[in-house]
Amino acid sequence: MLLDNPALQMLKKQFDSEKVKKEGIVRASERGFGFLEVANDKTSYFIPPQAMKNVLNGDRVIAIITEEEERPAKKGAAQGGDKNAKGDKGKRCQAAPESLVEAALKEHFVGRVAFVNGKMNVVPDNPTIKQTFICDDHRKDKSVKLQEGDWIQCHLTKHALKDGSFRAEILEEITNSGDPSTPWVVSLRTLDLPVAPPDSDSEYPFLERDLEREDMTSLPFVTIDSEKTEDMDDALYIEKCDDGFRLFVAIADPTGYIAEDSKLDIEAASRAFSIYLPGRNIPMLPRELSDNLCSLREGELRPALVGIVHILQDGTIVTEDTEFKLAYIKSAGKLIYNYVSDFIENGDTTNFNPSAEVKRVLEDLVEMTKVRDHYRSTVLASFRTRPDYEFILTEEGALDHIEINERRIANQIVEESMISANIACGDFLAENLNTGIFNAHSGFSSDYIEDAVELLGNYDFKTTSEELQTISGFCAARRFANSMPTTYLDNMLRKYQEFSQMTINPMPHFALGVENYATWTSPIRKYGDMINHRLIKNVICDQAHPQMPDEELLSTMNIARRTNRMAERSVREWLYVDYLSDDVNKKTVFTAELFDVVRGGLRLVLQENGAFIFIPNSLFSGVREDLDFDMALGRVIYKKEPILFLGDTLKVRLVSVDKISRSIVGTPVELPNDLPLPNIEEIMQRRREQAARAARMPNNNRNNGNGNAGNANAASASASSASDANAGSANA
């Protein structure tokens, strides 16, 4: 054969070596084409529709970069913040995926069953992946026949870029299409999270009876929680002293029941956190412990670890005076946030009329809270408060309504008490052991610190990158942002910040303005707090060292925290699309706050219920010329003048609620500067017609040439007709 000719092989190798190749992540668009995003490149590379048929959104690939003739942009097209890579004049750079580095669908994925021409397909439960795959049923138990819409767990066995086509195998059924618990079960299984508490033993003997504990049962500790809370892990008591306050924070003591390296301890370590989802939770510990034996129930004797924190009258925490004691306590009352706030703020005793001693404790806690809040606002930096949105479910599990819970005085009491206790713990562990589970925040990202300096300078706040890398400089910038009449500067500075992380060594927490911060106040819910309990006991009881935290455990906890938040967001999105679906036809008007500007448009949050929506740039205004979506500075610009900033509000209505991709698309009902509104009815009708034509095509390649026409996604195509939201969420 000619290819066996050494000279030809050498020539082919030379051609390959001369090709420009880039490794990056595939990002799909709603219109069939895509982009290759390359790390550290400020440009993205266009992937034509034909090449996109062999890859999935999120795939990491190596692509060949070529130059192609650039087609002129449509007149009046809005300009995005990102720029595509340009070649020579009149040409643009284009990417052709050549080899797969890492598939977007990892070891296994969750999807829905769809039958196409009698063959079983799977529709991945991923709003950015539109392909369907033929699948082979490899379940161990096939006694239950799979039906259209059932939820299954699959494994991708073939990838089109590597194998010429996509194909999957079914590992197990997750739940049927009519199961009301689907949002919770699917969200958890998609992220490999547990769907139930750990198995419960019949008995949990207390293991620390030989340790001496102080009797604090005469002190009127109180818990303050939501009405439905059962896992109450903190109780508060306070005394005034000559120079301020002595705050007693009593925390449940699960490590008294759970031996280190026991089966239950290992299970708790693997879970790392309790999972809190709308309407339900999955505890880290068996409910017999979390909701009973360890819960600080009113009137019941409980072992506790008590921290005594010295707070001066000006709000300073004297951390060197911190004491930790093993004790027995008895809660004097299970108090409810709203009832306590009604009593303190309005004198309302309808639902809560405390005894004289509990009233005295609450009065002193309020005074301490105001002192600490003033100190953090004027010396450190506090955060703007946002309401919590509580999901109230029906008995069937559907979202009945959403209650807006503002941050009231009872919430502030608990927040300031827990922050104070954790600051004290951070310094205690740093001083005595130089290890523990610390929460750290390093302030502004080094990639954006010069941007922060420049932005602050635009507001006549003079600083330097060196100053912003100190806690005092960071806090000064945050206080200045909080003093502004709008939230724009605060929102922009948040975009420049690093994410917080857990560490096993003492590190500053810039956002709180402290040198050390270690949580120990939720050991029922956080494994890191259990570790810190054991370390504190080691110091105060002079015990043998417990197992010290290591990087592997730290990684487990950081990953668990991130995936738990993803699960909560997933369930919320699922419930929101059901809850808001009728508002499309009702044309309900909402107030939405702008919180991000992305390549495809705007991301906003509805103030009435907390739902996230997306407004594609095509649905923003009837005018496309001279309109720019400035991602870098979080603005919308019209004729070179900013007309909309992060933190601004818009009146909007919903035009598409997609139950397949669980995305919500909106459009303004009024715009600043008399900008004309888009003709939504005409745009939506045109998109519905396009989706219908795509669904009728005999071979739309949605399953990449497997011969099944891909009609399984016809419903998805129709529902997604306006769903540029997928592009918005993918690029957020």
34-37 and 43-47 beta bridge pairing: antiparallel
HEC string of 86-150 equals ECCCCEEEEEEEEEEEECCCCCCEEEEEEEECCEEEEEECCCCCCCCEEEEECCCCCCCCCCCCC
Give the span between the Cα atoms of 86 and 94, in whole angstroms.
9
Give the span between the Cα atoms of 661 and 565, in whole angstroms.
19
Are the C-beta atoms of 201 and 258 separated by less than 8 Å?
A: no
HEC string of 663-705 equals EEEEEECCCHHHCCCCCHHHHHHHHHHHHHHHHHCCCCCCCCC
Residues facing 92 on adjacent strands: 68, 86
Among all chains, which residue has been given the structure tokens 């949050």? 605
Give the span between the Cα atoms of 218 and 536, in whole angstroms.
24
Q: What distances in angstroms separate CA 469 from CA 424, 443, 448, 507, 693, one per listed residue?
A: 23, 7, 12, 13, 56
- Give the pair of three-digit tokens for residue 403: 């209650």
Catalytic residue annotation: 225, 231, 233-234, 337, 525
Residue (of 622, 616, 594) closest to 665 by Cα position = 616
Angle between helices 263-271 and 527-541 (to 10 degrees): 130
What lies within 8 Å, CB to CB, of 622 at 6+ separation is: 675, 676, 677, 678, 679
Give the span between the Cα atoms of 693 and 714, in whole angstroms.
10
Are the C-beta atoms of 37 and 27 separated by less than 8 Å?
A: yes
What lies within 8 Å, CB to CB, of 187 at 6+ separation is: 277, 567, 570, 571, 574
User: How many CB atoms are closer than 10 A to CB 356?
Assistant: 8
Residues facing 438 on adjacent strands: 503
